[in-house]
Amino acid sequence: MENLCIEQTKSTPTIQFDVANNKLRIAGQSYPENAFKFYEPIFNWLDQYMAEIDRETVLEIYFHMPYINTSSSKCIMMLLEKMENAYQEGRKVAIQWYYNREDESALECAEEFKEDLLLPFTIVVLDDE
């Protein structure tokens, strides 16, 4: 299985899915014209990855997304649901969601996502440098 790496653009986040270390990272704003088109390969990759990895593998997922538009947030929700399903099946999945301290919208967004999930979801505040 190959790593999934997508470069950051103005309207799409960077995607760094590291197979060797079982760490997935999504960082950056997300407001592409066609969110489903952007996230579809990510869903596919994740499905394949989940199918291939050992059940005991501890999967760490990092989010740091200051802005997610409505359609992107639907996609992120779908992504989180895939992880939630994996967690419900007994996989070891943990999410860490970062936001900048003063960015209350990002915090609200994180809290909204967390609301519907049972898997370990930690919201981590980042202090501005």
Partner 1 sequence: MKKSTNDQDFMYDGSTMKVVSFACIIIVLAVIFTGSISYFITRNAVVDKLKSRDLIYIIESAAAKIDGRIARAQETSLLLARDPVVNDWVLSGEQNEQLGKYAKYKLTDMVNSHDYVNSFIVSAVTGNYWDEEGRILQRVSPQNDMDSWFYETLKSNKAVSLNIDYNSGRDNTYVFLNALIGDLKHPLGIAGIGLSLADIAKEFTAYKFGESSALWLVDSKGKIHLADRVEQNGKYLNDFLPAAVAKQIITDTNSQQTQTQILEYVNAAGETVDLAYKATQSTDWKVVFQINRSESIAILKTIKINTAIASLIAVLMITLVFYLVSRRIADPFKRALLLTRKMEQQVKERTSELAESNKEIMDSIEYARLLQKSILPNSEELKDILGDYFLLWRPRDIVGGDFFWVKRVSKEKSLVAIVDCTGHGVPGAFMTMAVNTALKHIVEQNHTDPARILSELNLQMKQILHRNRQDSFGDDGLDIAICAIEGHSLLNFAGAKLSLYVRRGQEIHTIAGDHKSIGYKASPEALTFTTHSWDIEAGDQFYLITDGYLDQNGGEKNYSFGKKRFIAEILARKEEISRQGGQFESVLQNYMADEPQRDDITLLGFSIR
By CB under 8 A, residue 80 contacts partner 1: no
Number of residues that bind partner 1 (CB under 8 A): 23
User: For residues 54-67, b (16+ Cβ closer than 10 Å) or e, as one string?
Assistant: eeeeebebbbbbbb
Nearest to 89 by CA among 59, 62, 126, 55: 55
Among 49, 62, 67, 98, binds partner 1 (CB under 8 A): 67
Sketch the per residue contact string, 88 through 127, with partner 1: x for CB under 8 A, - otherwise.
------------x-xxxxx-x---x--x------------
Among 22, 25, 27, 66, binds partner 1 (CB under 8 A): 66
Structure tokens at 47: 């499905």
Interactions with partner 1, residue window 11-30 (CB under 8 A): 29
- Smallest gap, in angstroms, from Cβ of residue 55 to partner 1? 27
By CB under 8 A, residue 7 contacts partner 1: no
Among 21, 51, 54, 70, binds partner 1 (CB under 8 A): 70
Nearest to 83 by CA among 50, 51, 35, 106: 50
The rounded distance, in Å, linking the Cα atoms of 87 and 118 is: 8
The rounded distance, in Å, linking the Cα atoms of 7 and 121 is: 25
Q: To 10 degrees, the CA torsion angle through 47, 52, 57, 63?
A: -30
Contacting residues toward partner 1, per CB under 8 A: 29, 31, 33, 36, 40, 66-67, 69-71, 74, 77-78, 100, 102-106, 108, 112, 115, 128
